[in-house]
Chain A
Amino acid sequence: MRQYNTGYQFKEGFHSIFAHGLMSFAAVCMIVACLIIMGSFSLVAVNLDNTLGDLEAQNEFTAYIDDSLSETEIQKLQSQIEAIPNVSTVTFVSREQALQDYIQRYSDSENSDLFQSLPQEVLRNRFQIHVVSIEDISSTVQSVEQVNGIAKVRAELEIAQGFVAVRNVASAVAFILVMLLLVISLFIIANTIKLTTFHRREEIAIMKMCGATNWFIRWPFIFEGMLLGFAGAVIAFFIQWGIYSLILNAVANYGGLQLLDIIPFRNLAGRLGVTFGGAGLLIGGGGSLLAIRKFLQV
């Protein structure tokens, strides 16, 4: 019995869009607005996350090697550290190299000559250790400290943890905002569609009197809502594309914002399209369900 009705219900929903043209237009506009607000928030969040990700990539700490170790022992030590969870790369830096780095880094400071005259024995051989996840850096530092042959570890944990905190707060805020917007838009759509269902309540009552199940009545409304939602998603996608490109150009032409590494739209288009499509269908279909809920109690 389903096979006959699915086509019928889809047709009913489709007809209804044009029968209530103005309301359908209003609903699509609301969906477009909601999706663009949500999309903009998400794109900002994704870019922020990307920028923080870049900073994170530079996150590393230094482990000083006990002076008594021979070269082969150091090599063994290196593979031992590489085996520690969350360690991504371990780079050996000899004391000569470390001195060169210092000299280079401070070459234009007042004390450059001080480093120049420094004997390399003052510095120790060391490992530069990169971590996979900045969140677990403190436990990684502890593990490295406990390895035999490591004399001392120097890590700037506050900075690392600061990054983590900023990123966590940013993604939590973005998530909550998007969820909030999703709920708000669901209610806006529900109320817009409710305006079209209002004079259909008589019709719904008639259907129920004839023995229609609630789902038989719901499906045309759900199809209608999903079609509107999808139409809104397609329009919103192209508008979002335009807005994003404008902002991208503006940032690219403004030299001072080199720190912001904006992701090109084509790298995000797939994800954005799928998200908009899904959100449009969800908001449209869900909104319709909400809208007719009251009228079904006959």
Chain B
Amino acid sequence: MIKLIDIQETYDNGTKALKGVSMRIDDGEFVFLVGPSGSGKSTIVKLITGEIAPTTGRLMVNGYNMNTIHPRQIPGMRRTLGVIFQDFRLIEKKSVMENLSFVMRVVGASPREIAKRIPYILNLVGLEGKEHALPSELSGGEQQRVAIARALVNNPCVIIADEPTGNLDPQRSLEIMMLLERINRLGTTVLVVTHEKELVNRFSKRVVAIENGRVISDEMGGYYSDETI
């Protein structure tokens, strides 16, 4: 579960990115976080992953109190999350297999566990047969699937995707979104950050809309649908 209570975030240069955000994401939910560019979406993601600390307000992530978390606890907290970025962030010189196995090494998995888990995950994201390819040998959609596989491989409670389809064509984007929906149906909480309204409107999910550092709506079925009427 992720809980933000009246979070304000001011960057070192004085930019007020968040001006009092409260929201709660329960286990098993699928939530879209939408809003125009610069509205503070990525700031929320960075708060949840512990890259930045809240200036004021309270933040809980999967049982960790982010206001009092010790730096040594951050790695453990991050292992409860799977994060996906617009630019994939794969390690270029490692193969698909190595990109995944190294994340399992991080949590101390044995070679046997790794050998068992990776084919299963690659099958889940539709990348069977690509384990020895380098990221540069894959299409954008395939690279994002590797990133999703990497986010999933340690079986986290929550998947957070920050504009996962920003670099993909509409068809690939839809496929990625459907994959995330499927992962959610298998039991993982999913938070998708995006500003692509068509995509959001194709799914009937909870949509949290944020503008200028404030939540302006939070409802089922989508915020953009009202706007287009």
Give the nearest-CB partner of A12 in chain B.
B102
Please report the total number of B residues contacting A with Cβ < 8 Å: 24
Which chain A positions have C-beta within 8 A of B81?
A: 211
Q: Which of B91-111 contact A (CB under 8 A)?
A: 91, 93, 102-103, 105-111
Which one of B83, B93, B105 contacts A5 once the chains associate, using CB atoms below 8 Å? Answer: B105
Q: Collect the chain A residues with CB atoms within 8 Å of residue B83's CB.
A: 209
Chain B residues whose CB sits within 8 angstroms of the CB of A209 once the complex forms: 49, 78, 83, 89
State in angstroms the CA–CA spacing of A213 and B90 once bound together: 18
Contact A4 B109 (CB under 8 A): yes
Q: Is the CB of B106 within 8 A of A1?
A: no
For B103, list chain A residues within 8 Å (CB): 210
**Could you say which residues of chain A place their CB within 8 Å of the CB of B75?**
208, 211-213
* Least distance between B219 CB and chain A CB atoms (Å): 31
Question: Is B79's CB under 8 angstroms from A211's CB?
Answer: yes
* Interface 9-mer from A103-111, A199-207, A233-241: A199-207
Say which residue of B51, B91, B93, B111 sits within 8 Å of A206 (CB atoms).
B91
Residues of A within 8 A of B102 (CB): 207
A4 CA / B106 CA spacing, docked (Å): 10
CB closest residue in chain A, given B106? A212
Whether B166 is near chain A, meaning CB under 8 Å from some CB there, is no
Which A residues from 193 to 237 make CB contacts under 8 A with B?
202-203, 205-213, 216
Please give the distance in Å from B111's CB to the nearest CB on chain A: 6
Q: Which residues of A contact B51 (CB under 8 A)?
A: 298
Bound together, the chains give a CA A27 to CA B219 distance in angstroms of 59
Assess whether A211 is in contact with B91, with CB atoms less than 8 Å apart: no
B76 CB contacts on chain A under 8 angstroms: 211
Is B145 positioned at the interface, with any CB of A under 8 Å from its CB?
no
* A19–B51 CA distance with the chains assembled, in angstroms: 30
Q: Is the CB of A4 within 8 A of B108?
A: yes
User: How long is the Cα–Cα vector from A209 to B93 in the complex, in angstroms?
Assistant: 18
Q: State in angstroms the CA–CA spacing of A298 and B75 once bound together.
A: 11
Contact with B along A169-210 (1 / 0, CB 8 A): 000000000000000000000000000000000110111111
- Whether B110 lies near A210 (C-beta < 8 A) is no
Does B41 have its Cβ within 8 Å of any Cβ on chain A?
Answer: no
**A8 proximal to B (CB < 8 A):** yes
* Any A CB within 8 A of the CB of B195: no
B110 to chain A: which residues have CB within 8 Å? 4
Q: Out of A4, A5, A210, A298, which one reaches B150, CB within 8 Å? A: A210
Nearest B-chain residue to A215, judged by Cβ: B75
User: Is the Cβ of A4 less than 8 Å from the Cβ of B105?
Assistant: yes
A181 to B110, CA, bound (A): 43
B220 to chain A minimum Cβ distance, whole angstroms, is: 31
In the complex the two chains form, is B108's CB within 8 Å of A1's CB? yes
A197 → chain B, closest Cβ, in Å?
14
Q: Given contacts A212-B75, A298-B51, is CB(A206)–CB(B106) below 8 Å?
A: no
- A-side contacts of B154, CB under 8 Å: 210-211
Decide yes or no: A4 and B111 within 8 Å by CB, A210-B103, A212-B106 being known contacts: yes
Query: In the complex, A207→B75 CA distance in Å?
Result: 10
Given contacts A209-B49, A210-B78, A212-B75, contact A203 B106 (CB under 8 A): no
State how many angstroms separate the Cβ of A294 from the closest Cβ of chain B.
15
A257 to B100, CA, bound (A): 68
Considering the complex, give the chain B residue whose CB is closest to the CB of A8.
B105
State whether B106 touches A207 (Cβ < 8 A): yes
User: Complex formed: what's the CA distance from A213 to B78 in Å?
Assistant: 10
> In the complex, which residues of chain B have a beta carbon less than 8 angstroms from the beta carbon of A208?
75, 78
Residues of B within 8 A of A205 (CB): 89
B159 CB, nearest partner CB in chain A, Å = 13
Q: In the complex, are the beta carbons of B106 and A216 less than 8 A apart?
A: yes
Over the window 86-129 of chain A, the binary record of Cβ atoms lying under 8 Å from chain B Cβ atoms (1 yes, 0 no) is 00000000000000000000000000000000000000000000
Partner of B89, one of A8, A19, A202: A202
Taking a contact as CB atoms under 8 Å apart, the answer to whether B109 and A210 are in contact is: no
Q: Mark out the residues of chain B between 53 and 78 whose CB falls within 8 Å of any chain A CB in the assembled complex.
A: 75-78
> How far apart sit A2 and B102, CA to CA, in the bound complex (Å)?
14
User: How many Å lie between the Cα of A203 and that of B102 in the bound state?
Assistant: 11
Residues of A within 8 A of B (CB): 1-2, 4-5, 8, 19, 202-203, 205-213, 216, 298
Contact surface of B with A, Cβ cutoff 8 Å = 49, 51, 75-79, 81, 83, 89-91, 93, 102-103, 105-111, 150, 154
8 A-B residue pairs with Cβ-Cβ distance under 8 Å, sorted by A, are A1-B108, A8-B105, A205-B89, A210-B78, A211-B78, A211-B107, A216-B105, A216-B106
9 more A-B residue pairs beyond the given contacts A209-B89, A210-B78, with a C-beta to C-beta distance below 8 A: A2-B108, A206-B89, A207-B102, A207-B106, A210-B79, A210-B150, A211-B107, A211-B154, A212-B106
